[in-house]
C-alpha cells in the first residue's frame, strides 16, 4: 500500500506531494507509530495541571497537526500546527527535536528553518507514510524530553 497520489499541497506545485498525517493514519507505519504514542500528550506549558489538560493533545489531534511533503522522497518538509507548541518545545533552536529527527532510520540531516517547519534529508527514498511515522515518533520523543527538562513526570 502506498500513500494516495492526490497531494494536499495548497500551492498545487506539480510533482510535490504534501499530506496531513491523519490522512495517512490507515497505513501500517503510521498506524504503528500512532499506537506507540500516548493516548493523550499533556501540555508542558505550565505547572498548572488544569492548563496541562486544557492544552493536551490526543493522538487524533496530534496527527491533524502534522504535515509531511516532498517532491522526490529524499528531501522533506515537515511542519506542525500551533497546538503542538504546548507539548514540544520548538524554540529558536529545537535541539531535542532535530536530534530526534536525525535519529530516525535513513535520516541524514534535519534543519529548523522557520517557526514549526523543518527540512529533512534522507539517505534513501522514503514514502510519505514512512516519514509520517518517523515524525510522530520524533514528536513523542521531543515531548518526553521537554517534560523531563521541565521536571514534569509523565505516566509513560
Whole-number pLDDT of residue 3:
53
For the cut 50, the answer to whether the pLDDT of residue 19 exceeds it is: yes
Question: pLDDT tens-digit profile of 100-143?
Answer: 999 999 999 999 988 889 999 999 999 999 999 999 999 999 99
* Predicted confidence (pLDDT) at residue 2 exceeds the cutoff of 60: no
- What's the pLDDT score for residue 113? 87
Helix (H) or strand (E) holding 98: helix 95-102
Give dist(CA 23, CA 88) in Å, integer: 22
Q: Provide the pLDDT confidence category of residue 1 given band limits of 50, 70 and 90.
A: very low
* Long-range Cβ pairs for the range 11-15 (8 Å, 24+): 13/71, 15/71
140 vs 18: CA distance, rounded Å: 22
pLDDT per position as a tens digit, 53-107:
888 999 999 999 999 999 999 999 999 998 888 888 766 677 778 899 999 999 9
Amino acid at each position: 500500500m502506498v500513500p494516495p497520489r492526490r497531494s494536499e499541497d495548497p500551492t498545487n506545485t506539480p510533482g510535490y506531494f504534501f499530506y496531513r498525517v491523519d490522512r495517512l493514519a490507515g497505513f501500517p507505519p503510521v498506524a504503528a507509530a500512532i499506537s506507540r504514542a500516548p493516548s493523550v500528550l499533556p501540555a508542558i506549558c505550565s505547572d498548572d495541571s488544569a492548563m496541562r489538560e486544557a492544552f493536551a493533545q490526543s493522538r487524533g489531534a496530534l496527527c491533524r497537526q502534522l504535515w509531511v511533503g516532498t517532491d522526490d522522497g529524499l528531501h522533506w518538509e515537515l511542519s506542525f500546527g500551533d497546538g503542538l507548541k504546548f507539548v514540544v518545545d520548538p524554540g529558536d533552536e529545537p535541539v531535542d527535536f532535530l536530534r530526534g529527527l536525525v535519529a530516525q532510520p535513513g535520516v541524514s540531516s534535519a534543519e529548523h528553518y522557520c517557526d514549526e517547519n523543518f527540512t529533512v534529508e534522507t539517505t534513501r527514498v522514503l514514502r510519505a507514510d514512512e516519514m509520517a511515522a518517523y515524525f510522530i515518533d520524533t514528536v513523542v520523543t521531543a515531548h518526553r524530553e521537554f517534560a523531563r527538562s521541565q521536571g514534569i513526570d509523565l505516566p509513560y
